[in-house]
Chain A
């Protein structure tokens, strides 16, 4: 451990530039149902991770696996989380694996909420109204104005990474020697947020309605009386259990889930909720 800390890699402006370019132009290319921006998060900082941990090391493999897990946030704010992440990893290395996993999952929810309400609702509503009202009169200036505003937003996305990194450095310095406490709090928040997301992002419900004579029994209504969103919770719990079984890989698990979902949907048991 001591020898490793001597050759710790220090991030340079070139690194920040590379991360920003990857985030601005390539984020979400790999967006998928299972882990959403998961592989994107890894892709954006892969060159820096390689410099920090060294190629073909077990450390790098462990970190890459962790960074390749479920992640989804506003694509306007993802580099804020990555900046804080890099500051912690730069200082603590693989010791911070659990802290980073906790911080990522803990912060993705709130930043998604803020980012969506500003950049997916507020800005398009204001700039869209201006551009549309000019456009229906045959005037294209409003469209260019909107683009200009979005370039200003891109500038903010560019500078926020280094700002977040510095805040991250301050955070780690202020919490010197408190990594355990930080890990504890960060993983607590991460677990809490995953619980919250399981209740909102697994949009599925029982669509089967049993007809007993003249009476129709709607199973979803009955389940909602016991506990709302019980079905998503059981599914997450079931898959968690499945992943703990011997010789079970995430690839196998996902095939099982897809086949079972298509079959149950075809049988009219399970469906997509609004």
Chain B
């Protein structure tokens, strides 16, 4: 693989480090596969090949977004790999994706989890800095997050570009065989950690007072998400068995769940404002009440007379 020069490895690694920060912040589209193909093509000296590879990988990930911080197969680094090795080493793009893009992506899933873990450490440093009134420290420890993020993308891409596919594959194999318990454990812990965030947040909210609504929010969502995901699973299975079945089922729309909450909050707001005005403006309140009572009685009398 000596056909990829050192400076090309460095620029492509730097690009892969930049793209994750772009994705997290401004989202200028520079992290998308088409741009990865264009930039890698420019660096390798063949823009057209880069664009074709980027475009075809873009088509394969079309419509697949990042939802809720889930780690996914990385089309961006796949494009960089495929372009670099297709132009630099004369590999077929499809072969390069399979031989390099896939192992890089699986290594990146691990480094991504590690980065999100490392930032938990900085989150707690921020907690400490708040108690010390250290405002510069808060900002510094927040911005340190840039290191885990960029390294999580830069290391796998650099290793693959510099040492080639066999090296990355053996690294992934080592992780999967010897360290499986650790990577599985960290994935499980990562899935569990939001529970800590929720629990702390609940300590800031009057959870005892609104406990019934905690139950409603949880049960409604738990039931619907189970139903939706089971129907989706059924749909994919049937589609796999019968090609004429083309209906795609959407996942649970969280907005609908939130709207139920909005309705409950509005009811509560109306109830507490009306009870407040009764107690607060004692001069106005009773009078109005008497008025409405009178009119209602009059209405009733008229109806009674007619009958």
Q: Which of B61, B222, B257, B269 contacts A109 (CB 8 A)?
A: B257
A209 within 8 Å of B (CB atoms) = no
Known: A39-B142, A192-B264. A132 touches B25 (CB 8 A): no
Known: A98-B206, A196-B254. A25 touches B25 (CB 8 A): yes
A156 within 8 Å of B (CB atoms) = no
Asked if residues B34 and A262 are in contact (CB atoms below 8 Å), the reply is: no
Please indicate the chain A residues that have their CB under 8 angstroms from the CB of B47 in the complex: 138, 140
Known: A32-B117, A35-B197, A254-B196. A181 touches B276 (CB 8 A): yes
B2 within 8 Å of A (CB atoms) = no
- Main secondary structure, interface of A, reads helix
Asked if residues A185 and B268 are in contact (CB atoms below 8 Å), the reply is: yes
B165 within 8 Å of A (CB atoms) = no
A80 → B minimal CB distance (Å): 14
B86 → A minimal CB distance (Å): 14
A204 within 8 Å of B (CB atoms) = yes
Asked if residues A101 and B185 are in contact (CB atoms below 8 Å), the reply is: no
B163 → A minimal CB distance (Å): 29
Asked if residues B133 and A124 are in contact (CB atoms below 8 Å), the reply is: no
CA distance A235 to B218 in the complex (A): 13
Which interface residue of B56, B215, B216, B219 has the most chain A CB atoms within 10 A?
Answer: B219
Asked if residues A120 and B66 are in contact (CB atoms below 8 Å), the reply is: yes
Spot the interface stretch: A4-12, A88-96, A145-153: A145-153
Asked if residues B195 and A236 are in contact (CB atoms below 8 Å), the reply is: yes
A168 within 8 Å of B (CB atoms) = no
Please indicate the chain B residues that have their CB under 8 angstroms from the CB of A151 in the complex: 28
Which interface residue of B117, B205, B207 has the most chain A CB atoms within 10 A?
Answer: B205
Please indicate the chain A residues that have their CB under 8 angstroms from the CB of B48 in the complex: 138
A131 within 8 Å of B (CB atoms) = yes
Asked if residues A34 and B189 are in contact (CB atoms below 8 Å), the reply is: no
Asked if residues B218 and A30 are in contact (CB atoms below 8 Å), the reply is: no
Which interface residue of B37, B146, B186, B269 has the most chain A CB atoms within 10 A?
Answer: B269
Contact with B along A17-58 (1 / 0, CB 8 A): 000000011111111111110111011001000100001100
Asked if residues B258 and A113 are in contact (CB atoms below 8 Å), the reply is: yes
Q: Which of A43, A228, A270 contacts B188 (CB 8 A)?
A: A270
CA distance A184 to B24 in the complex (A): 34
CA distance A68 to B120 in the complex (A): 12
Please indicate the chain A residues that have their CB under 8 angstroms from the CB of B273 in the complex: 178, 181
Asked if residues A251 and B127 are in contact (CB atoms below 8 Å), the reply is: yes
A157 → B minimal CB distance (Å): 9
B169 within 8 Å of A (CB atoms) = no
A167 within 8 Å of B (CB atoms) = no
Please indicate the chain B residues that have their CB under 8 angstroms from the CB of A203 in the complex: 191
B37 → A minimal CB distance (Å): 7
CA distance A131 to B120 in the complex (A): 37
Please indicate the chain B residues that have their CB under 8 angstroms from the CB of A131 in the complex: 29, 32, 34, 55, 58
CA distance A70 to B200 in the complex (A): 8
- Main secondary structure, interface of B, reads helix
Which interface residue of A50, A75, A128, A196 has the most chain B CB atoms within 10 A?
Answer: A196
Asked if residues A191 and B222 are in contact (CB atoms below 8 Å), the reply is: no
Asked if residues B51 and A135 are in contact (CB atoms below 8 Å), the reply is: yes
Q: Which of B59, B196, B207, B252 contacts A34 (CB 8 A)?
A: B196
Please indicate the chain A residues that have their CB under 8 angstroms from the CB of B259 in the complex: 110
Known: A128-B32, A251-B124. A110 touches B258 (CB 8 A): yes
B173 within 8 Å of A (CB atoms) = no
Known: A70-B198, A201-B194, A273-B191. A125 touches B55 (CB 8 A): no
Q: Which of A27, A192, A242, A264 contacts B217 (CB 8 A)?
A: A192
B67 within 8 Å of A (CB atoms) = yes
Q: Which of B38, B55, B58, B188 contacts A261 (CB 8 A)?
A: B188
- Residue of B at shortest CB range from A105? B201
Asked if residues A132 and B35 are in contact (CB atoms below 8 Å), the reply is: no
Asked if residues B196 and A61 are in contact (CB atoms below 8 Å), the reply is: no
Asked if residues B199 and A240 are in contact (CB atoms below 8 Å), the reply is: yes
CA distance A257 to B197 in the complex (A): 12
Which interface residue of A102, A128, A151 has the most chain B CB atoms within 10 A?
Answer: A128
- Residue of A at shortest CB range from B60? A132
Asked if residues A46 and B139 are in contact (CB atoms below 8 Å), the reply is: yes
CA distance A142 to B145 in the complex (A): 32
Asked if residues A243 and B221 are in contact (CB atoms below 8 Å), the reply is: no
Question: CB within 8 Å of B: which of A116-146?
Answer: 116, 119-121, 124-125, 127-129, 131-140, 142-143, 146
B42 → A minimal CB distance (Å): 10
Contact with B along A176-206 (1 / 0, CB 8 A): 0010111011111111111111111111100
A-B contact pairs, 20 of them (CB 8 A): A26-B142, A30-B143, A30-B145, A42-B126, A43-B139, A43-B143, A109-B258, A110-B258, A124-B32, A124-B63, A128-B34, A132-B33, A134-B55, A143-B29, A147-B29, A150-B28, A178-B273, A188-B265, A191-B210, A191-B211
A-B pairs with the 5 shortest C-beta distances?
A135-B55, A195-B217, A120-B65, A262-B185, A70-B197
